Amino acid sequence: MKYVLFSILALLFVGNSSAQDKYEKTMKKNLAKIDSAKSVEDLIGAANSFERIALAEKDKWLPYYYVSFCYTLANYSAKENSEKDSYLDKADSFLHTADSLEADNSEIYTLRGMISQSRMAVDPMNRWMKYGAEADRFFKKAVELDSLNPRPDYLVGTGLFYTPEQFGGGPKTAKPLLEKALDKFNNFIPENDIAPNWGREMTEQMLEEINKK
């Protein structure tokens, strides 16, 4: 009886381990699609791939997170404001599902702030009051949940970098936050190979541009 029970447990362990390996391998493959994306179509293709993983792995938050991330990135390359908002609506929807599976997660709040920043950028004059305050609130919550996460500082710094000086922004204003973000990136250790680990390259590029000036 003990032998039979041991055999069943061993088979279950091997099966679960194999399924996890397959999941992580597929996630890595799709993360590479984000890194190599050169168009909106590439990003939507990556989003669709992550959505298929999400449908198969309904209890895991990361696939939903990456669908949201892809749509958020796609909005930056969209030409029409209505198209940008459509992508951000989808990003919000999938991130809401991720949050339902993984509450109080710094990375999710960071992406929430990024989406709010993006909505503000669609129509800054009419949206800055609502979405600027919203983004600020989400980034503060992200830092509160994980003070070592470099992405909130990176995104706040990015927002300041592209804000005109007459409105309190500009490269010089952004520099301290970007330097703080880079310092965190230098010490940041992702939880695993498929955990969020983006933003460092852009932080370095902006600092390089600032220092040249």
**Which candidate, 128, 159, 156, places its Cα nearest to that of 141?**
156
At residue 17, the pLDDT reads 53
Give per-residue pLDDT as tens, 21-55.
899 999 999 999 999 999 999 999 999 999 999 99
pLDDT tens string 8-19? 444 444 444 566
Which is it for the CA torsion 184, 188, 191, 195, positive or negative? positive
Which two tokens mark 124? 């800054």
CA torsion through residues 141, 142, 147, 152, sign: negative
Task: Select the more confidently predicted residue: 183 or 4.
Answer: 183
Whole-prediction pTM: 0.90
